[in-house]
């Protein structure tokens, strides 16, 4: 959080330093006064503390507190507003908080939906991006410490957050509002790319899935359709009877993502197999059921999912 990577984060970090300085000052002052009080000579029996002491207490307890709170109020007001003008963003991404993962929708320049993806959001570097934040269930909070502040996703409300990355890179985000059993395993990645690289990613994600070329791939696709997978997940483009359901993440380009189950495990063959075989073991309480499959079907399904690049 202290190594900010964009103007929105720089704004938050200024506010953080002001609060940190004031908090430290108050802590040191209180500790010093406490020490003075510990070593001050005791008043004689019957001697009154006098009105001078009461006056000093009022100055310290009242005046200083009011002044410091006012400084914090003004600082909050100054630094908590986004530095991007309304409508000044280059791109809007809609993020929907789910238990316990993130769906994201990208749009074309006319605002029509392009595609949906999950848990890994690419953005162009050097320009502000607006995140439109919604929730499907409980309250979540969208936070990318190196890129900006956090904003809650609340069911029935639409909130907005602007982020900008000055350098290409991968920035980790995390749900920052306790949302149930797997709140800790509700992470995501922001991948900031130069404009041309981002445009290529956008085209690739908007494209439909490529039909499997091998027999084992085709068998895997059949398993996907025949078992319960297609009831919750969508694979775009093919007439493979995926239901268009958004209960689970869109899998059209699953193999292009870096992690599985919202940052729970890396997206590698062993982890993918483990996730398919025992999702409740990897992330207890999540909505993905274990689907019992014959060994041949299982490895064909695994192979097919790995072709979804």
Q: Which of 264, 250, 241, 262 is nearest to 305 (CA)?
A: 250
Name the segment binding ligand CUA (CB under 6 A); options: 24-32, 62-70, 160-168, 176-184: 176-184
User: Binding string, 133-172, against ligand CUA, x = CB under 6 A?
Assistant: -------x--------------------------------
Question: For residues 191 and 170, is the Cβ–Cβ distance under 8 A?
Answer: yes
Bridge-based pairing of strands 187-193 and 120-124 is parallel
**Tokens read off for 177:** 């509002």
Q: Is the peptide bond before 27 cis (omega within 30 degrees of 0)?
A: no
Least Å distance, CB 153 to ligand CUA, is 8
Q: Crossing angle, helix 269-277 and helix 295-306, to 10 degrees?
A: 130
Q: What's the min distance (Å) between Cβ of 157 and ligand CUA?
A: 15
179 binds ligand CUA (CB under 6 A): yes
Binding mask 96-125 for ligand CUA (x = CB under 6 A): -x--x-------------------------
* The 169-175 sheet, strands edge to edge: 120-124, 187-193, 169-175, 140-143, 151-153
Would you say 133 or 179 has its CB closer to ligand CUA? 179
Residue 84 or 261 having the CB closest to ligand CUA = 261
Q: Is 236 in the site for ligand CUA (CB under 6 A)?
A: no
Of residues 175, 261, 288, 293, which one binds ligand CUA by CB under 6 A?
Answer: 175
Please classify residue 96 by burial: count the beta carbons closer than 10 Å to its beta carbon, then call 0-12 exposed, 13-18 middle and 19+ buried: buried
In the complex, minimum distance from the CB of residue 283 to ligand CUA, in angstroms, rounded to a whole number: 13
Contacts to ligand CUA by CB under 6 A: 97, 100, 140, 175, 177-179, 183, 186
């Amino acid at each position: 959080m202290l190594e900010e990577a964009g103007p929105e984060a720089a704004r938050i970090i200024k506010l953080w330093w002001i609060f940190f300085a004031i908090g430290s000052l108050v802590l040191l002052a209180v500790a010093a006064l406490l020490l003075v009080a510990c070593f001050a000579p005791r008043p004689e029996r019957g001697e009154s503390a006098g009105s001078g002491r009461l006056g000093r207490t009022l100055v310290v307890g009242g005046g200083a507190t009011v002044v410091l709170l006012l400084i914090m109020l003004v600082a909050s007001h100054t630094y908590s507003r986004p530095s991007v003008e309304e409508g000044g963003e280059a791109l809007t991404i809609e993020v929907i908080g789910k238990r316990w993962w993130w769906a994201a929708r990208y749009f074309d320049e006319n605002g029509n939906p392009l595609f949906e993806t999950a848990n890994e959001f690419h953005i162009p570097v050097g320009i502000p991006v607006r995140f439109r934040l919604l929730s499907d269930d409980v309250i979540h909070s969208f936070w990318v410490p190196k890129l900006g502040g956090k904003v809650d996703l609340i069911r029935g409300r639409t909130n907005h957050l602007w982020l900008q990355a000055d350098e290409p890179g991968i920035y980790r985000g995390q749900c920052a509002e306790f949302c149930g059993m797997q709140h800790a395993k509700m992470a995501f990645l922001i991948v900031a790319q130069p404009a041309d690289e981002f445009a290529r990613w956008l085209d690739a994600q908007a494209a439909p899935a490529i039909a499997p070329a091998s027999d084992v791939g085709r068998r895997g696709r059949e398993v996907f359709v025949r078992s319960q997978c297609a009831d919750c997940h969508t694979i775009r483009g093919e007439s493979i009877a995926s239901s268009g359901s958004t209960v689970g993440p869109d899998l059209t380009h699953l193999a292009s993502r870096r992690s599985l189950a919202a940052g729970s495990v890396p997206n590698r063959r062993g982890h993918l197999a483990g996730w398919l075989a025992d999702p409740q073991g990897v992330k207890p309480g999540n909505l993905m059921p274990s689907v019992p499959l014959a060994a041949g079907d299982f490895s064909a399904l695994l192979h097919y999912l790995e072709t979804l690049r």
